[in-house]
Amino acid sequence: MKHIHRLGNKIGQLIIVVFVAVLMLEAFYLVNIIQGTGRVINYAGIVRGASQRLVKLEISKQPNDELVEYLDDIIRDLHYGGGKYNVIKLKDDEYIIQLNSLIVQWENLKASIRDFRQQDNDSSRLMGVSEDYFDHANVLVGLAEEYAEAITGKLRICEILLSIGIVALILISLQQTYYELTLVRKNKELRAAAYLDKLTGIPGRRSCEEALWYPVDVKKSPFCVIMIDINNLKLVNDKLGHHTGDRLIKAFAEILYKFSSEKVFTGRYGGDEFLCIVHDYEEKMVQRLLNDIKKEVDEFNQKESKFQIQYACGYEYGGETLPKMLEKADLKMYENKKQMKDASS
In the predicted model, is pLDDT for residue 1 greater than 70?
no
Residue 33 lies in a domain: yes
User: What was the pLDDT predicted at 193?
Assistant: 62
d(CA 98, CA 106): 12
The closest alpha carbon to 330, from 207, 215, 225, 181, belongs to 225
Residue 221 lies in a domain: yes
d(CA 155, CA 107): 37
The dihedral over CA atoms of 249, 255, 260, 264, expressed in degrees to the nearest 10, equals -80
User: What was the pLDDT predicted at 218?
Assistant: 76
| Count of Cβ atoms closer than 10 Å to residue 269 Cβ | 22
d(CA 273, CA 271): 6
Q: What is the mean pLDDT of the chain?
A: 89
- Based on C-alpha coordinates, what's the Rg of the chain? 48
In the predicted model, is pLDDT for residue 2 greater than 60?
no
Beta carbons within 8 Å of 159's beta carbon, 6+ residues apart? 27
Please compute the mean of the pLDDT values over residues 116-128 and round it to a whole number.
81
Query: In this structure, are 168 and 299 located in the same domain?
Result: no
What is the number of domains present in the chain? 2
Write out the residue range of the structural domain in which residue 268 sits.
Answer: 205-344
Q: At 220, which CATH number?
A: 3.30.70.270
Query: In this structure, are 122 and 232 located in the same domain?
Result: no
For the sheet containing 273-279, what is the strand order? 264-270, 273-279, 223-230, 311-317
* 102-to-4, 24, 47 alpha-carbon distances in Å: 63, 36, 10
Please compute the mean of the pLDDT values over residues 23-45 and round it to a whole number.
90
Q: Is the pTM of this model over 0.75?
A: no
Query: In this structure, are 26 and 88 located in the same domain?
Result: yes
Please compute the mean of the pLDDT values over residues 128-143 and round it to a whole number.
92
Residue 158 lies in a domain: yes
In the predicted model, is pLDDT for residue 179 greater than 80?
no
What pLDDT digit, counting tens, does each position of 298-338 carry?
999 999 878 899 999 999 998 888 999 999 999 999 999 99
Residue 196 lies in a domain: no
Of the ranges 3-12, 92-101, 121-130, which is most confident? 92-101
What pLDDT digit, counting tens, does each position of 222-278 carry?
999 999 999 989 889 999 999 999 999 999 999 999 999 999 999 999 889 999 999
Query: In this structure, are 12 and 117 located in the same domain?
Result: yes
What pLDDT digit, counting tens, does each position of 48-94 carry?
999 999 999 988 889 999 999 999 999 999 999 888 888 989 989 99
Query: In this structure, are 154 and 84 located in the same domain?
Result: yes
